[in-house]
């Protein structure tokens, strides 16, 4: 499996390098020579494979971020070329019906290259904005169980707290919860970005503790795959000390204005031995509202056959960068969004943070504000 993953990444990087080199050749065409054309290919492939080798050797901390960043740059170069090719096609279609002078043709060639530069910069700015400026998605759900008062439930998955996503992001989430009068916050996994080093270095515990204290009915979380990559204990301790109540293969009965409510939390399936959902539900009163926190949305169809009123998940990031959103939606029953299946309601968030590098395209940082109502 490990070798298969490496070969897949290697082949993808070579494919991206080919596309990026061809796109750059077009952009440099008016000023290029044979030597410069060769140089483009050599430089692009050299950067790709040197970064890949350094990442495999783990020559420096977070080397995968550099590979990811370079891959994103190449991806945006190719997307830019795709956009410009549409304008290019329009130009050739127009020129086939009208007479276009040589001077006009030169101006258009230069104009298209200027447009390509601004398109490339625009993609970066927009992707950065989408990663750091979250949107609040509101949803109203009615369940067929007793709830005498509406519950305002906030969902923030996949924070990936680390060096690139820290105190400002926590404070912004704090403000969003207050502004939207959230009663409770659920965080279904990937709270930390692999470890607690940045969390400790920048004293994020104080900011997270203030957030937890501001939520009237508490903050509840489960651990995702990135929380289980060798630092489960330190991550769990840091979250609990800040006031987060972890539900790792556990159930908890709480009350909201006199109404009982069951919270069920599952370990991510990266944990080789985790409790089955049916065993966890056996510990609840199934006549009362049940909310499940499950990091991955991979078991949604099985859970739709169980007496679960609401499941909240994350993990997919809605692909994070286009066109990966099509892939996650193809391999999951719900790769992103909200759907009702049988009597259950299922929400899969794209996440409040991001993985690896701070860019999103075709995906947006978000929290969900779910107003849960029932029978009175």
* pLDDT per 10-residue tile (average), the chain, 376 residues: 77 93 88 85 94 82 85 95 78 55 67 89 96 97 93 97 95 97 97 94 96 97 94 96 96 94 95 92 95 96 96 97 94 96 96 95 97 90
Question: Tens digits of per-residue pLDDT, 115-151?
Answer: 899 999 999 999 999 999 999 999 999 999 999 999 9
Residue 172 has a CB neighbour count (10 Å cut-off) of 16
The span from the CA of 295 to the CA of 282, in Å, is 20
Peptide bond into 180 cis (omega under 30): no
Could you tell me the pTM of the whole model? 0.90
Q: Which two tokens stand for residue 42?
A: 């050599």
What does the DSSP assignment read for 293-305?
Answer: E-SSSTTHHHHTT
Q: Which two tokens stand for residue 39?
A: 């140089």
Question: Tens digits of per-residue pLDDT, 220-267?
Answer: 999 999 999 989 999 999 999 999 999 999 999 999 999 999 999 999
pLDDT of residue 301: 96
The span from the CA of 81 to the CA of 21, in Å, is 11
State the DSSP code for 134: -
Q: Hey, what's the torsion of the CAs at 178, 179, 183, 184, to 10 degrees?
A: -70
Domains in the chain (CATH in brackets) are 2-130 (no CATH), 135-375 (3.60.21.10)
Whether the Cβ atoms of residue 345 and residue 328 lie closer than 8 Å to each other: no
């Amino acid at each position: 499996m490990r070798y298969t993953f490496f070969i897949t990444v290697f082949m993808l990087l070579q494919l991206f390098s080919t596309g990026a080199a061809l796109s750059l050749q077009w952009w440099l065409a008016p000023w290029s020579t044979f030597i410069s054309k060769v140089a483009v290919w050599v430089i692009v492939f050299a950067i790709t494979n040197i970064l890949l080798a350094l990442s495999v050797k783990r020559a420096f901390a977070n080397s995968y971020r550099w590979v990811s960043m370079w891959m994103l740059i190449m991806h945006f170069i190719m997307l830019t070329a795709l956009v410009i090719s549409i304008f290019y096609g329009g130009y050739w279609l127009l020129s086939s019906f009208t007479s276009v002078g040589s001077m006009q043709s030169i101006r258009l060639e230069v104009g298209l290259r200027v447009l390509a530069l601004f398109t490339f910069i625009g993609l970066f700015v927009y992707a950065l904005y989408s990663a750091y400026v979250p949107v609040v998605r509101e949803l109203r759900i009615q369940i067929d169980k007793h709830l005498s008062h509406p519950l305002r439930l906030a969902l923030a998955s996949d924070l990936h707290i680390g060096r690139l996503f820290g105190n400002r992001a926590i404070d912004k989430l704090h403000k969003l919860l207050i502004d939207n009068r959230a009663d409770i916050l659920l965080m279904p996994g990937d709270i930390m970005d692999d470890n607690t080093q940045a969390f400790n270095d920048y004293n994020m515990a104080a900011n997270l503790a203030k957030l937890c204290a501001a939520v009237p009915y508490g903050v509840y979380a489960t651990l995702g795959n990135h929380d289980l990559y060798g630092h489960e204990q330190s991550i769990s301790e840091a979250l609990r000390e800040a006031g987060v109540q972890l539900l790792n293969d556990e159930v908890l009965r709480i009350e909201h204005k006199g109404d009982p409510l069951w919270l069920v939390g599952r370990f991510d399936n990266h944990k080789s031995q985790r409790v089955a959902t049916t065993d966890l539900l056996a510990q609840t009163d199934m006549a009362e509202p049940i909310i499940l926190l499950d990091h991955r949305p991979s078991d949604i169809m099985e859970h739709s056959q169980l007496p679960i009123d609401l499941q909240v998940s994350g993990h997919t990031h809605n692909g994070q960068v286009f066109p990966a959103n099509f892939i996650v939606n193809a391999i999951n029953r719900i790769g992103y969004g909200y759907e009702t299946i049988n009597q259950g309601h299922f929400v899969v968030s794209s996440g409040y943070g991001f993985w690896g590098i701070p860019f999103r395209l075709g995906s947006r940082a978000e929290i969900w504000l779910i107003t849960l109502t029932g029978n009175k």
